Structure 1
Amino acid sequence: MYEELYQPIPDRARYWDRLGMDEPAGPLDAETLDRMIAAHQRAIPFENLDIVDFGRTIDLGMPALFDKMIARRRGGYCFELNALFCMLLAETGFDAAPCFARSLKNRGYTQPIAHRGTIVSLDGEKLFCDVGYGGPMPACALPLEDGLRIVSCGQAFRMDRQDGPWWKLTYCGREDAKACGSDAEEAVMAFMDLPQDEVDFVPLSHFCSTHPDSVFTQWRNVNRRTDDGSVSIVGDVFTKTVHGEKKRVTIESEAQYRTILEKDFGIELPGR
């Protein structure tokens, strides 16, 4: 029943076309990896609409993920986006494996391990990659260096080593990595630098997509990086961020919702 988790991508050329990239022809390096991550975050939205709008079960098999996000040009949430991307990395020639992660957004309690990222080993170095987080996330790979400060697309982040295999990623605000350590910083996530297996994410995805306490079953969450910021829907609020400036609009009708999905996220939903 789990064989489809490990099947190859049905048509890799269509995947590269979806990203707006050519498949790398030369040696694989960190620059190529960064371009892939940034392109993925711009081209394929984070979204949980199958769960919230349609009550569908999430299928993590490669054929289903390809059909949804590449053939039908939808998005997905972390267990979908990062699974498909990890397979693309592996088939391209990168040494890539999934890893466990948890959100650190302050909800008054420790959140369960309910996120997946990707660890890439390249030239003797480990890097963390994520194309499936519905919030601030670097548009590049992050070397696992304690105290690393990095600015990506005008956003500053810091990486800190925690106990054992755990690492913590902190969002420090706009523009300057020196902002890290200020009152404006916000913990984003913790992740493990140990490789896991695809099948390990099946029960985690099932919980996230079905349990009433999961944030993914409670409200819509759609997010896509743009050339100058991002666009998002959280619940019934559409936010467009340009160079750090946010404009919010309350979605008041189904027609308005579908127009925003198509115009700003490239998503055309079927009828309910």
Structure 2
Amino acid sequence: MKNKGAFTAPQAQAYLERIGCTRPAGATQGALDELVYAHQCSIPFETIDMHQCTEAPDLDPGHVFDKIVTQHRGGYCYELNALFERLLVSLGFAARPCLCRAVCGQIEKDPINHRGILVAIDGREVFADVGFGGPLPCASVNLSNGQEQVIRGERFTTNKLDDYWWAIDRVTQAKKDLYGIEGPSRTQTEIEFCLATVTDKDFDSLNLSCSQPGMEFHDHRIANLRTKDGYYGIWDDTLTVRANGERTRTPLPDEAAFADALETYFGFRPYGT
């Protein structure tokens, strides 16, 4: 019997081709890590359609699959992590959603505003994320209090906050930092996530609130994509390219330049261009 929420075999194959992966031989942590990395390097975090939108993004699974896999677009956490979770279930992983809040080194905490993924492997759970659009690990993270994990040269530590909440801290690298974070090298919390059981419906109101005027996903045109040696990013009318430790910023003076940059670096053009 097909697992609830799983893709059909052709859908799963199309998704794997979208991220340049073959079907893993088993539901192991190593296989999960390869899928997370490939996903982050293939499918962008992007809010281009949400900019000045009048309605919240459609989270219907069929719509999201068509947008991301068939049309080769990207999305944000309520789209990307929900779809990736479904792929994991289709590949035999025991995956479930979790409530999160983005912290990104801030002292004042935001309300819960993010969807992550918990995956059970060998009797324990690990955290995975392909929809953050920022400096989260490009592999799964073990839930081991105080344990430092080095993932493709980046250092992360998981810390247990209480019986339900965990935090992921990252060591920034000043000018050498992959994401160009200003200031001295330091350890900062990037995200907090909760172990409580939730369902897809629990994210509907969060999706609605995050897409309203006054929220950055609505008010700004954002795109981010990990690369093998850096990242590509767009914020409004500026393109950032990080490669081989060097960062360049290029103004996008008009809509034609903006559309060309999206096509060149992220693989799609805005609708209607």
Q: What secondary structure, in the 3-state scheme, does the structure 2 residue paired with 1:49 have?
A: coil
TM-score (norm 2): 0.89
TM-score (norm 1): 0.89
Residue aligning to 1:81: 80
Residue aligning to 2:191: 189
Matches within 5 A, 1:132-147: 132-147=131-146
Unaligned runs of 5+ in 1: 1-5, 177-181
Residue aligning to 2:230: 229
State the shift of 1:184 in Å. 2.2
Unaligned runs of 5+ in 2: 178-183
Amino acid across the alignment from 2:97 = P
Is 1:22 the equivalent of 2:9? Answer: no
Residue aligning to 2:215: 214
Q: What secondary structure, in the 3-state scheme, does the structure 2 residue paired with 1:43 have?
A: coil
Q: What secondary structure, in the 3-state scheme, does the structure 1 residue paired with 2:260 have?
A: helix
CA distance in 2, matches of 1:19, 1:156: 25
State the shift of 1:237 in Å. 1.9
Residue aligning to 1:248: 249
Residue aligning to 2:205: 203
CA distance in 1, matches of 2:76, 2:242: 21
Residue aligning to 1:100: 99
Q: What secondary structure, in the 3-state scheme, does the structure 2 residue paired with 1:147 have?
A: coil
Residue aligning to 2:62: 63
State the shift of 1:154 in Å. 2.5
The answer on whether the counterparts of 1:169 and 1:188 sit within 8 Å (CA) in structure 2 is yes
Q: Which range moves more in the overlay, 147-156 or 191-200? A: 147-156
Residue aligning to 1:265: 266
Residues 157-198 of structure 1 deviation map (CA, whole Å, 9 limit, x = unaligned): 22111123111112212489xxxxx85223211111223101
The answer on whether the counterparts of 1:82 and 1:116 sit within 8 Å (CA) in structure 2 is yes
CA distance in 2, matches of 1:106, 1:137: 12
CA distance in 2, matches of 1:48, 1:165: 30
State the shift of 1:28 in Å. 1.8
What is the Cα-based RMSD across aligned positions, in Å? 2.0
State the shift of 1:15 in Å. 0.6
The answer on whether the counterparts of 2:52 and 2:219 sit within 8 Å (CA) in structure 1 is no
Q: Which range moves more in the overlay, 138-147 or 45-54? A: 45-54
Residues 66-125 of structure 1 deviation map (CA, whole Å, 9 limit, x = unaligned): 000001000000000000000111111101000000011356632111101000010012
Aligned residues: 260
Residue aligning to 1:179: none
CA distance in 2, matches of 1:251, 1:38: 29
